[in-house]
Structure 1
Amino acid sequence: MKYSQDEIRELQLKAIQVRANILEMIPPGKVGHLGGSSSIADVMAALYFHTMHVNKHDPKDPKRDRLIMSKGHAVLVQYACLAELGYFDRSELGKVKTFNGMLQGHPDMDRTPGIEAVTGSLGQGLSVSLGLALGLRLDESESRVYTILGDGELAEGQIWEAVMAAKVYKASNLTAVVDWNGVQATSTTAEIFPIENLAEKWKAFGWNVIEIDGHDMEQILGALDAAKAYTAGPSVILAHTVKGKCFPFAEGKAKYHNAAMSEDEYKIAWQCIENLKKEVQA
Structure 2
Amino acid sequence: MSIFHRGARRAALVALMAFTGAGQAAAAEYTLTVEPTFPAAQLREVYGPLLSYLERRTGHRFNVRAATGFNQHWRDLRAGAPAELVFEEGHFFDYRRQRSGFVALVRTQEDSAYAIAVADPAIAAEGRDGIVGRTVASLGAPNLGDVLVFDEFRNPLAQPEMRPISSKWSDGPDLVFAGDVEATLLPAYLASENPALTEVWRSRTVPGRVLSASPQLPQEVRRTIAEAMRALHEDPEAFAVMNELRTERFVEVDVAAYAGLERLLVNSFGYTPPARAAAATPPATAAPAPATPPVN
TM-score w.r.t. structure 2 length? 0.27
Which is strand-richer, 1 or 2?
Answer: 2
TM-score w.r.t. structure 1 length? 0.28
Which is helix-richer, 1 or 2?
Answer: 1
Larger Rg: 2
